Every structure is written in C-alpha cells, then in structure tokens.
C-alpha cells in the first residue's frame, strides 16, 4: 500500500542538471520527514539530503557536504511529492537515487527511515 516512486533520473553531461521527484502514497506524507540517499554498485548507500515535515518539527534541512551548494531538496505536501534539484553534476554523483520517509526525525541515518522507493538511476558522463 505504501509507495514511493522516484522519477527524473537519466543521462547528463558533467556540469548539467537533473530534477528528481518522489511521489508518495499510502501514508501521511505531510507529517513525515523526507530524505534522499544514493548508492553506487559496490559501495554503501550514502545520505544526500533531508527536509523536515515542518519547521516546528525541530528538524532542519540538511545536505551531505559533497552536494552542498549544488543540490536542493524541497517538498510539496499538497502533491505528496519530494524533489531533489541537482545542479553542476559531477561524475562522482553517478548513482541510484532513493527517496525515503521518516516518521520520527530528519536525519542522515538511513536506518531510521520507515519507507523507501525503488530508486532512479542518475548517470553523469565526463
């Protein structure tokens, strides 16, 4: 019943941009923190960004150091959708990107997230 469906991945040249979207259903999206993670085959999944459900939740929008200044996370609670705008992409950004929902906290710790999408592939050509 719970679904997180990512889209927007694809092939882009280094320096280019992509906008990922994550459409959620089957749970109260508006009170869940939403995060983005990525994983390359042979490597561990790593944190990218998180946005809290509300400023009053006590959480804050946070980015991995590797993407600060280049990526922007956002959400539209009326559309049950989280976004990741990725600018100035680098070859090292190439990975499968996953969105995830966290009922409890806006954190980089992947093990606290309740729901995960299937991922969307981002390929950066150099």
- Per-run averaged pLDDT (10 residues), the chain, 126 residues: 97 98 97 97 96 86 98 96 98 98 96 97 96
Residue labelled with tokens 């280094």: 14
Burial class of residue 90 (count of CB atoms within 10 Å of its CB; 0-12, 13-18, 19+) = middle
Q: Quote the tokens at residue 111.
A: 């093990």
pLDDT at 57: 74
């Amino acid at each position: 019943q719970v679904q997180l469906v990512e889209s927007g991945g694809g092939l882009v040249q280094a320096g280019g941009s992509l906008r990922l979207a994550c459409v959620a259903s089957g749970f109260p999206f508006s009170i869940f923190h939403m995060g983005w993670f990525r994983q390359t085959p042979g490597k561990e999944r790593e944190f990218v960004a998180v946005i809290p459900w509300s400023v009053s939740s006590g959480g804050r929008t946070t980015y991995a150091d590797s993407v600060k200044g280049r990526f922007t996370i956002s959400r539209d609670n009326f559309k049950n959708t989280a976004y990741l705008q990725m600018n100035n992409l680098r070859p090292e950004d190439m990975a499968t990107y996953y969105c995830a929902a966290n009922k409890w906290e806006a954190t980089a710790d992947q093990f606290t997230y309740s729901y995960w999408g299937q991922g969307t592939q981002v390929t950066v050509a150099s």
